[in-house]
Structure 1
Amino acid sequence: MTGEGRTAAAPMLVYDGDCGFCTRTVRLAERLPVRADLIPWQEADLVRLGVSEERAAHEVLWVEPSGRVEGGADAVAEVFRHARRPWPLLGGAMKLPVIRSAAVWGYRRIAANRYRLPGATPACRLPPAERPGARGAPG
């Protein structure tokens, strides 16, 4: 689910729409497909979500309709848990202690270097219309 079909009943994946690597990664989530609304934090009502701009700029967020917020590797695990089979198995495994520790470590390394990774744009600024889940974004 993306774009104007956002509903309060659907979980939401909030990502950095100005980061080319992040945006390309979210496009992969669209292909799983993940049962959630995908929205750049720059377009999200962060106050309503109970999330600070600083946190949203720092890590990907998974926001449940109940208001529960998962960030970083835990948010990625939720993406997999809400995707079509067989991905929920990976999402569940990512919550296990040893695997979760490795996922957190990996997420931190990737997040710290996201502007250097393949898919990052030179300026790492995508026009709003090119962000997955943004109104008017290409599918």
Structure 2
Amino acid sequence: MISDADRIAAAQAYISALASHDADTVPFAPGCTRVEVGIKTGFSGNHLRRSLNGGLQYRVISSVGTPEFTVDGNTVRARFDLSTKPTLAGRRVGAHVDETFLIPADDPSGRAQIHHINASIRPFLTR
């Protein structure tokens, strides 16, 4: 059985990679997928890793806040804010992010792996 702490650490690795743009250690399962506001944006663990490492959609992210995690069964939910590099009329664009990670406690690999991510994002402007 994989501990909640290990599963939270897997989700944190993904969240940290959003701003560091270094996803080499994010524990994606090979078939991991990601859905953002109903649209599939991640098609495999390798695709997600490549996207986080160099995709323009992630390169605009400059920082992420400290996530609030909850664990329920095989899911780990993370709520946090992120900031982007671009500004709009002198205001920085940010987002309230709510992501649910499927990280089974009984993964056959014996380690915490992200199998699916479902993301909800609400943009906001800040000074």
TM-score normalised to the size of structure 1?
0.25
Which structure's relative contact order is higher, taking Cα pairs within 8 Å and 6+ residues apart? 1
